[in-house]
Each structure stands twice: as structure tokens, then as C-alpha cells.
Structure 1
Amino acid sequence: MKLFKKITIVVLVLIVLFLLGGYFYFQKKFTPTENYLTVSGTAENIPLRWIPSDENSHSALLFPVKIKGTNRTFYMQFDSGSATTVFYKNALESIAKKFPNQIKMNAKEMELSTHFTIGKMKIISNTFEVLDYGKKIDFDNPNAENIIGTIGTDLLEKRVTILDFKNNKCSFVEQMEEKGFLNFEFKKRKILITAKLDHENLKLLYDSGTSGYELITQKEIWKKYKNPKSPIKTEKGNSWGNTLDVFSASANKQMLFGNSAVQISEVTYIEGTSELQKFLMKRSGMQGMIGNKLFLNHKLILDCKNEKFKLE
């Protein structure tokens, strides 16, 4: 009997240690690094640029940027699903060849020390992460997109961000009067907004990396929201090099953010995401993701530092 009790206690201790180990693993893995950005100045009425795909005219959203020591305009994709601003190695190597001694990249540590500007706003860091990703710069084509990296929510944490989709412009200001603003969660630099759909409150991740979609949700919920006789549009998606199967159908729903109503004309679900991603979504309580397309006729103002937002 005593042996049985000892075995039970040992098993319980092992289970507790396993759960604690799992908790700390996930905390470390999905907690973003410290925000190392130093930001000065502001940017106002910066033109937005959209990347179209075969099926989607708003597949990705780009901000124009300039790198210190160069005289060219490059672009960085805005991804509010990314907690950090990162650069792409292949693009940086092209710039380094064209502008010698201007790119200080530590290839071993995959880090970059530089500053770039958006309008009159300067963003500086000695430890920008560099990903083995991207394409070479096409210096001969003045209309080339020339994407050199991704802008994450670490920048949004430093400024009030105004995304004026109606007029295709954006601004980054230090502060503004916050009348009529609503609360949102900014956990681990993820933007979690509560909205109401069919009299149900939904916690939604604003992920501008899924730019061209209005509402992405689970297949079961997708079936409930889509129009019953809608044809299903299928396409291939890309998530950092991983191919995903994307299914969209027409919808006729209204989503409420406080008193502001937004029309949903399409709802989407995705196959090909990892089991880990599905697990994390369930654990976070999220019912879906919303992209830029949902706000095309609106102005979205985000104050991530104070966890306030407004939709106009």
C-alpha cells in the first residue's frame, strides 16, 4: 500500500513538472523579445501600396521606406500578426552590393544594425532580426515592389497608428485625443479585438498579414456564416513559405465594433495550418482573424500602448 502511494505521488509530481515545463516552454516560445526600436518623429499621410494576386486585389499591404545611406524607396509589408519588425536577407544582400558599406548585417547572428524612415519618422535598432527569405532587388524597374522586410507591432507600440483605408493613406503620430475609443487586448503584441456578430461576442485577431480576407474562422463557424448556396472559391495561400489551402464563400453579415457597423461580404477558412497553431488559437479564446479587406471603406486608429482603438 505504501509503495502504491509513493508511485502515485511520483506520477503526480511528474505530471505537474510536465505541465509546468510545457507552460514555460510556450511562454518563452511565444513571448516576443523586448521592443528594441527607437522611434523619433512622425509620419503623416503616407501612401499605401497594395499587392494584388490572381484572386485578390488586396493580397498584401506595403509601406514605403528608405534605408539609411541609400537614395531609393523600398517597401516593407505591414503584418500586425508579427510582433517584431524583420528584414529579408536576399533583399539586404542586393542593397549591400549596390550601396557598399551601408548595410551592417551580422550574417552569423542574422541581425542588422540600421535605421530606416517612413516619411519623417525614423526607426532605429542595432538588432533587427534578419530572415533567410525574400527576393533580390530589381533596381532597373522603377515600378518594382522591392520588398525588404516586414513591419510588426513593435512599431505600433511606439506610435498611434492611423490606417485610413478609405483614402489609401496611413499616419504615425505620438498622441491624439481619444474620444469614442474602445478597448482591445494587446497580449504578446497581438491585437485582439472584440466584435459582435449575430448577437455573439467574438474575440478576433487583427492580422494584416491576411490582408485580402475579411473574416477567417474555423470551418464549422464558416458553414454557419456563409450564404447557403454560395459557390466556394479556392486558392493557395502562403505563410512564410508554407502553402495553405484557402476556401472562401460569400456572406451577408454585419459586424459591430461598438456602435460602428462593418459589412461582411465574404467569409474564409484555411486548411494546412499546424496542429500547434490550432491549439494556440483555441487556448487564446480566439474565434477568428480579420484582415485589411474588412476595413477598406473605413479608418482604423490603433493606440497599442494604451490598448485603445477606433473605427470610423
Structure 2
Amino acid sequence: MKTFKKITLTVFIIFSLLFIGGYIYFNQKFTPPINTLTVSGNSGNIPIKWIKDGENNYSALLLPVNLKNIDNTFYMQLDTGTPTTVFYQKPLESIQKIFFLNKKFNEIFSDFNLNKMKITSSDFSVINYGNEINCKDSEAVNIIGTIGSDLLEKRIIILDFKNTVCSFTETINEEGFSDFEFKKRKILLPAKIGNKTLKLMYDSGTSGYELITNLEGWNQYKIPNSTEKHERGNAWGNTLTIKTSAANQKLEIANSVLQLSEITYIEGTSKIQKFLMKSSGMEGMLGNKIFINSTLILDCNNKKFTVKR
């Protein structure tokens, strides 16, 4: 009997240690690095540029940026699902060859401007991605990096989708704003569909989708027997099937009611991804498309937001 109790206790301790170890591992793995951005000034209105992909007119949200001592305008994608602002190596290398052949990377790419606002870091991450820039074509859209949610720790963002402009400011009147969660630089917004309360991550990187949800939600909210649009994707080495169907639901969010006209489900996500989604309490992701006729304002420091029609 004592031996059985001892074995049971040992098994319990092992599972407890595995659970604690797993929690620490995932907590560290998905905890973003220290925010190294220094921001000065407010931006004023910045024109939003949309990247189209086939029938999707809102596939990616780009903001024009300027680099010091270069007259050309470049672009960076605004991706609130990415915790850290990064540059792309291939376009930066071509900029270096064209404009600053004898200068080092960290001398050239230590800051950039979003209109009147300057963003500086002594430690910008550079990833092996992107394409060489094209300076000969005045219509070329040269994308040099991604603006992550670390910038939203420094400034309030106003996304006026209706007028296709974005701005960053230090202060704003927040009367009537609602609360939201900002964990590990992830934006989790409370919303309702019918009588169901949901916690939805705002990920501007999934720009062209209204609401991405799980299989249960997809089956619940889509119009029965509606045509499905299938796309291929890839994440963490997994091949994904992205299924989008028509919907006719009302999404209540921050005292506004938005029309949900389509619903998306991603098939092929890993068990780890599903576990992380479930453990965070997140029940879906909102892209930019759901807000396309609205203004979304996010104050991540005070965890206040609003949606204006």
C-alpha cells in the first residue's frame, strides 16, 4: 500500500513538474523581447496603402516611411500580430549598395520616420526576407520591413479606415472607451455575436479577413450551403487550408455594431497552436476588413479602445 502511494505521489510530482516546465517554456518562448524603440513626436495623418491579392483588396496594410538622407519613400507593413518591429535584409542590402556603399548597417538603419514621428532603436532586428528595391520605377512599392505592436506601447494608434489614414499620438480623449487585454503585446478585444461573448485578437497581419475562428464557430456563423473560397497557406512548416464562407451576423464591439459578411476557418493548424489559442482564451482573430468602414483607436498602455462608425 505504501509502495502504491509512493508511486502515485511520484507520478503526480513528475506531471506537475512537466506542467510547470511546459508553462515556463511556452511563457518564455512567446514572451516578446524588451522594447528597444525610442519614439519622438506625433505622426499626423499617414496615408494607408493597401496591397491587393487577387479578389482581396485588403491583403496587407502598408505605411509609407522615410529613411535619413534618402528622398525615396519606402513602405512597411503594419502587423499588430507581430510583437517586434523588424527590417528585411534583402531590400536593406540593396539600399546600402545604392546609397551608402561605404557605411555599415547599424549606421544606416538605426531610425525611420512615419511622417512627423521618428522611431529609433539601437537594436532593430533584421530578418532574411524581402526583395531588392526598385528605384527606377516611381510606381514601385518597395517594402523594407514590418511595424510590430512594440510601437503601440509607445503611441496611441488611430486607424481611420474610412478615410484611409492612420495616425499615432500621445494623448486622446478616452471618454466612452472600452477596456481590452494587452498581453505579451497581443491585442485581445471583447466582442459579442448574438448572445455569445468572445475574446478576439486584433491581428492586422491577417488584414484581408473579417473574422478567423475555429471550426465550431465557422459552422455556427456561416450561411448554410454557401460557396466556400479555399486558399493555401503555410505556418510553422504546416500546410494550411484557409476556408472562407459568407456570413450574415452582427458583431458588437466597443458600443458599435459591425456587419460580419464572411467567416474564415484555417484547417491544418498544429496542436501547439490550438493549445496556445485555447489557453489564452482567444476565440478568433479580427483582420482589418471588418473595420473597413470604421475608425479603430487603440491605447495599449491604458488598455482602452473604441470603434467609431
TM-score (norm 1): 0.93
Pairing partner for 1:175 from 164, 171, 176: 171
Pairing partner for 1:309 from 301, 305, 309: 305
Aligned equivalent of 1:153: 149
Q: Which amino acid aligns with 2:50?
A: W
Within the alignment, does 1:289 sit opposite 2:309 as a pair?
Answer: no
Q: Which amino acid aligns with 2:90?
A: N
Aligned equivalent of 1:85: 85
Alpha carbons 1:68, 1:114 under 8 Å: kept: no
Within the alignment, does 1:41 sit opposite 2:55 as a pair?
Answer: no
Aligned equivalent of 2:75: 75
Q: Which amino acid aligns with 1:96?
A: Q
Aligned equivalent of 2:21: 21
Change over 3 Å in CA distance of 1:295–1:102 after alignment to 2: farther
Aligned equivalent of 2:261: 265
Within the alignment, does 1:198 sit opposite 2:194 as a pair?
Answer: yes
- Partner Cα separation in structure 1 for residue 232 and residue 258 of structure 2: 26
Q: Which amino acid aligns with 1:174?
A: E
Change over 3 Å in CA distance of 1:134–1:239 after alignment to 2: farther
**Correspondence list, 1:168-247, <5 A:** 168-237=164-233, 244-247=240-243
11-20 or 225-234: bigger deviation = 11-20
Q: Which amino acid aligns with 2:142?
A: N
TM-score (norm 2): 0.94
Secondary structure at the aligned position of 2:87 is classed as strand
Q: How many residues align?
A: 308
- Partner Cα separation in structure 1 for residue 96 and residue 252 of structure 2: 47
Provide the aligned C-alpha RMSD in A.
2.0
Secondary structure at the aligned position of 2:123 is classed as strand
Residues 134-178 of structure 1 show CA distances to partners (whole Å, capped at 9, x for unaligned) of: 111122222122111111110011011000000000110110111
159-168 or 87-96: bigger deviation = 87-96
Deviation at 1:101, TM superposition (A): 5.5
Residues 124-143 of structure 1 show CA distances to partners (whole Å, capped at 9, x for unaligned) of: 00111111111111222221
Deviation at 1:243, TM superposition (A): 5.1
Alpha carbons 2:74, 2:142 under 8 Å: kept: yes
Change over 3 Å in CA distance of 1:36–1:121 after alignment to 2: same
Alpha carbons 1:113, 1:127 under 8 Å: kept: no
Change over 3 Å in CA distance of 1:266–1:161 after alignment to 2: same
298-307 or 274-283: bigger deviation = 274-283
Pairing partner for 1:274 from 252, 266, 270: 270
Change over 3 Å in CA distance of 1:275–1:240 after alignment to 2: closer
Change over 3 Å in CA distance of 1:215–1:79 after alignment to 2: same
- Partner Cα separation in structure 2 for residue 83 and residue 102 of structure 1: 32
Secondary structure at the aligned position of 1:60 is classed as strand
- Partner Cα separation in structure 1 for residue 254 and residue 189 of structure 2: 11
- Partner Cα separation in structure 2 for residue 289 and residue 201 of structure 1: 14
Deviation at 1:236, TM superposition (A): 2.5
Secondary structure at the aligned position of 1:137 is classed as coil
Deviation at 1:16, TM superposition (A): 2.0
Q: Which amino acid aligns with 2:82?
A: S
Change over 3 Å in CA distance of 1:18–1:243 after alignment to 2: closer
Deviation at 1:5, TM superposition (A): 4.0
Alpha carbons 1:68, 1:102 under 8 Å: kept: no
Pairing partner for 2:137 from 133, 138, 141: 141
- Partner Cα separation in structure 1 for residue 263 and residue 236 of structure 2: 22
Residues 30-83 of structure 1 show CA distances to partners (whole Å, capped at 9, x for unaligned) of: 011111100001111110000000130100000100122322111100111011
Secondary structure at the aligned position of 2:231 is classed as strand
Q: Which amino acid aligns with 2:219?
A: K
Q: Which amino acid aligns with 1:8?
A: T
- Partner Cα separation in structure 2 for residue 96 and residue 32 of structure 1: 29
263-272 or 182-191: bigger deviation = 263-272
Deviation at 1:193, TM superposition (A): 0.2
Alpha carbons 1:213, 1:291 under 8 Å: kept: yes
Change over 3 Å in CA distance of 1:102–1:180 after alignment to 2: farther
Q: Which amino acid aligns with 2:47?
A: P
Alpha carbons 1:194, 1:202 under 8 Å: kept: yes
Change over 3 Å in CA distance of 1:221–1:53 after alignment to 2: same
Aligned equivalent of 1:109: none
Q: Percent identity?
A: 57
